[in-house]
Amino acid sequence: MSNLTPTADVGDALRDRIQTTLETIRPALQSDGGDVEFVDFSPDDGVLQLRLVGACGSCPISWTTVKHGIERRIRASIPEVSEVRAV
């Protein structure tokens, strides 16, 4: 019997870690009338797709929020994430 974790379990574990990290980011976004939604994560290339909603969804500096705020915090906590994209 192998000690290897099935790929689906690894993906689920990464998704759980991403969701946990997003929960630490959410209060700052919500204080400005916005929020963030998990859309998808690809373990193959490490790309995390998020959707900014509320005030964040239409904010003219949302790209800065994604790249310099959300991406920086997520990549610091989860090295498997190579990039965060807003969709």
Give residue 35's identity as a one-letter amino acid code.
D
Query: Which CATH number characterizes residue 16's domain?
Result: 3.30.300.130
Q: Token pair for residue 51?
A: 């959707």
1 assigned to some structural domain: no
> pTM higher than 0.75, yes or no?
yes
Summarize pLDDT for 2-46 with one digit per residue, the tens. Answer: 344 444 555 788 889 999 999 999 999 999 999 999 999 988 899
2 assigned to some structural domain: no
50 assigned to some structural domain: yes
80 assigned to some structural domain: yes
Q: What is the rounded distance in angstroms from the CA atom of residue 21 to the CA atom of residue 74?
A: 6
Summarize pLDDT for 48-71 with one digit per residue, the tens. Answer: 999 999 999 998 999 999 999 999
3 assigned to some structural domain: no
- Domain hosting 31: range is 8-86
Q: What are the angstrom distances between the C-alpha of 24 and each of 14, 19, 36, 45? A: 16, 9, 11, 24
Number of folded domains that form the chain: 1
Q: Cα 73 vs. chain centroid, distance in angstroms?
A: 9
CA angle 38, 81, 74 (to 5 degrees): 65
